[in-house]
Amino acid sequence: MPRGAATAAPTPSYGEPPVTAFAPDSLVLNRKLPLWYQVSQSLRASILGRTADASLRLPTEEQLAEHYGVSVLTMRQALKELETEGLISRHRRRGTFIEPAALRGAPVQLLGSVDAIVAQQSGDRTTILGHERTAVSGELLEHFPDTAEVVTYRRLRHDSESGEPTNWAENAVRPELADAIDLADLERWPMTKVLRDIVKVDISRITDTVEARLADPLTAELLRVPLLSPILHYTGVTYDGAGRVVDVARIRYRGDRFSFTVTVDAH
C-alpha cells in the first residue's frame, strides 16, 4: 500500500441473516411535529426495548418507509438521527444494523410526542421494587378527584451496560387499568407504552414538569448518590381521550447522568 494511503475501517461482522421481522410500533403521525423526528423516536423505542435474542439487522429504508407511511427521504433522515446518536450503523450494500453497545443515556428531548417519552424511558434494565394499592393523598388529590385509591408501581432503572442505577420511578395508575397490567411488561417497557399498546388506553396528552431537587434518603440510597445531592425530578401526567388522568409518573434522575433538551418548532 502506498505511504500515506488511508486504511478503511473494518466493517463489523454480523453475518448475513435475512431481513428480520423487526416491527416498530405503528405510529399515528402528528402533522404539527417533524415526521422524521416522530419516526426516529418510534424506532428508538423499538431498538432500546428489543429482547436480548433479537437480530441486529433492520429492514430496508423502503420497508420502514412503507411501514410508517412516510417517504424514503423522511425515513433516511430519521435513520441518520439514530446513526448520529450511535444506536445504529449503516453499511453500503449490507444494510442497517443496531449497534450492540449502543449508548443508552442520551439526553431527554421534550418535543410534544408520546413516542419521545416512550423512547427516552426505554432501554435501561428495569427492576420492579414493588406495587400496591395506596390511598389518594397529597399531590395526587388534584389528579384523581374521583377515586379514593390508585395502584402505585415503583421501579428502578439501571444502565444496561454498566449496571449503574440511573433513575427510579413511581407511577400512580387507576385501579381498573392496573388490573390489566402484567409486571413482566413493566420490566421491559415504560408505563406509557404498556398503557397505550397493551392496556389500549387512548392517550390524548401528557403534561411534563421538570425541576431540580435534592436527593432524599430513599433516592440517595437507590441511585447511589450522596444525600441532598442534585437530582432532576420529572412529573408526567397522562390523560385519556375523555380528559381523565390515568397515570401520574414521578421519576428521579441522577443529576450527573441526564440533561433535558426542549425543542420548539417555529412552524
- In this prediction, residue 105 carries a pLDDT of 45
Confidence grade of residue 140 (pLDDT, cut at 50, 70, 90): very high
Contact 95, 22 (CB under 8 A): no
Contact 33, 265 (CB under 8 A): yes
Task: Write the pLDDT tens digit of every residue in 47-58.
Answer: 776 766 777 888
H-run or E-run covering 79: helix 72-85
- In this prediction, residue 12 carries a pLDDT of 43
Confidence grade of residue 9 (pLDDT, cut at 50, 70, 90): very low
- In this prediction, residue 102 carries a pLDDT of 58
Interval 38-51 mean pLDDT: 76
- In this prediction, residue 195 carries a pLDDT of 95
Contact 118, 185 (CB under 8 A): no
Q: d(Cα 244, Cα 240) in Å, to the nearest integer?
A: 6
What cell does 51 get?
A: 429482547
Q: d(Cα 140, Cα 62) in Å, to the nearest integer?
A: 46
Task: Write the pLDDT tens digit of every residue in 227-237.
Answer: 777 788 889 99
Residue 267 has pLDDT above 70, yes or no: no
* Least confident residue range of 32-41, 43-52, 160-169: 43-52
- In this prediction, residue 22 carries a pLDDT of 56
More confidently predicted of 186 and 17: 186
Q: Please report where in the chains the cell 461482522 appears, as a residue.
A: 13
Specify the length of the chain in residues: 267
Please, is 170 exposed, middle or buried when counting C-beta atoms within 10 Å of its C-beta (0-12, 13-18, 19+)? middle
* Least confident residue range of 47-56, 116-125, 143-152, 176-185: 116-125
- Which residues does 20 contact at the CB level (< 8 Å), separation at least 6? 54, 55, 57, 58, 59
Q: Please report where in the chains the cell 413482566 appears, as a residue.
A: 184
pLDDT winner (highest mean) among 18-22, 82-86, 109-113, 249-253: 249-253
pTM over cut 0.85: no
Residue 74 has pLDDT above 80, yes or no: yes
Nearest alpha-carbon partner for 104 in 47, 171, 28, 51:
47
How far out from the chain centre does Cα 65 lie?
Answer: 21
Residue 260 has pLDDT above 90, yes or no: no
- In this prediction, residue 257 carries a pLDDT of 66
More confidently predicted of 145 and 215: 145
